[in-house]
């Protein structure tokens, strides 16, 4: 027996063969891709960019988070007392003639004075960490003008970053150079100068910092006398 297949109802003309405008639209869609997909891809890219920007902003330290210093030149300005620690009495206040007192002028000890300090250093690493070479210049004075001193010394230092990703540094240093001592009414004295100790630096922005030098021993020496002192300096600085 042969099965008889009955054809269905005839299809409309538009369904059997697409017209020319419909065919052109289909071909254009095939070449350019789906409009909905093209619109979705930029949206997805925009969302990814937004997420990346959000993550970057979260990873970037704020101005109050001690940002690390990234430039090699450091310039420091500071002030503070230089306290004489010589166990022997001063002589005439100027290390001459009759003994005067142990405490020195204004309680600064024998050979003590007030200091203003300028310190310039260049880091070989290209940023503000690691070994550095520079020069320190310091002016010394006593209230009333009884004494003026000037120290100029080449300096070696090493900046150690104490906290990863944060601008907190420990800076041991050594400086050896020249010291001028001028007491009012007496000849000037030319001496040697040596300083050894450490400072702590805190970055308050990418270019500015505060620093404290709590432990530096300062020695003035000539063939005729030796003056040991303890310097306590605090100040501000910049990197460039």
Higher pLDDT, 12 or 203: 203
Alpha-carbon Rg of the chain, whole angstroms? 38
Instruction: Report if residue 111 sits inside a domain.
Output: yes
The dihedral through the CA atoms of 84, 90, 93, 95 has a sign that is: negative
Residue 31: what pLDDT? 54
Instruction: Report if residue 61 sits inside a domain.
Output: no
Helical packing angle, 20-32 and 35-59, nearest 10°: 20
Indicate whether 37 pLDDT > 50: no
For tokens 């709590």, name the residue: 214
Indicate whether 81 pLDDT > 80: yes
Instruction: Report if residue 47 sits inside a domain.
Output: no
Indicate whether 124 pLDDT > 50: yes
Indicate whether 15 pLDDT > 60: no
Where does the pLDDT of residue 36 fall: very low under 50, low under 70, confident under 90, or very high at 90 and above? very low
Residue 164: what pLDDT? 83
Instruction: Report if residue 129 sits inside a domain.
Output: yes
Closest CA to 75 of 113, 128, 34, 124: 128
> What integer is the mean pLDDT of 185-199?
93
Residue 28: what pLDDT? 52
Q: Domain range holding 223? A: 73-239
Instruction: Report if residue 223 sits inside a domain.
Output: yes
Indicate whether 198 pLDDT > 80: yes
In percent, the amount of the chain with pLDDT more than 90 equals 43
Instruction: Report if residue 208 sits inside a domain.
Output: yes
Domain count, the chain: 1
Instruction: Report if residue 43 sits inside a domain.
Output: no
Instruction: Report if residue 139 sits inside a domain.
Output: yes
Domain at 201, CATH number: 2.40.160.20
> What integer is the mean pLDDT of 124-141?
94
Which tens digit of pLDDT belongs to each residue from 164-179? 888 899 999 999 999 9
Indicate whether 228 pLDDT > 50: yes
């Amino acid at each position: 027996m042969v099965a008889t297949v009955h054809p269905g109802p005839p299809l409309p003309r538009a369904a059997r063969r697409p017209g020319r405008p419909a065919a052109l639209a289909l071909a254009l869609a095939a070449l350019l891709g789906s409009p909905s997909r093209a619109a979705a891809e930029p949206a997805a890219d925009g969302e990814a960019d937004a997420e990346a920007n959000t993550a970057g902003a979260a990873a970037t330290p704020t101005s109050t988070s001690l940002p690390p210093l990234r430039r090699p030149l450091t310039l420091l300005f500071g002030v503070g007392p230089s306290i004489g620690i010589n166990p022997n009495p001063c002589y005439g206040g100027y290390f001459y003639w009759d003994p005067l007192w142990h405490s020195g002028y204004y309680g600064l000890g024998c050979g003590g004075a007030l200091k203003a300090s300028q310190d310039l250093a260049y880091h070989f690493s290209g940023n503000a960490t690691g070994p550095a070479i520079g020069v320190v210049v310091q002016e010394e004075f006593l209230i009333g003008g009884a004494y003026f001193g000037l120290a100029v010394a080449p300096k070696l230092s090493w900046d150690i970053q104490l906290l990863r990703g944060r601008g907190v540094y420990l800076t041991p240093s050594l400086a050896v150079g020249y010291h001028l001592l001028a007491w009012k009414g007496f000849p000037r004295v030319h001496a040697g100068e040596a300083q050894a100790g450490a400072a702590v630096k805190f970055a308050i922005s990418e270019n500015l910092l505060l620093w404290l030098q709590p432990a530096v021993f300062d020695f003035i020496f000539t063939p005729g006398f030796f003056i040991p002192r303890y310097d306590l300096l605090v100040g501000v600085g910049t990197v460039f």
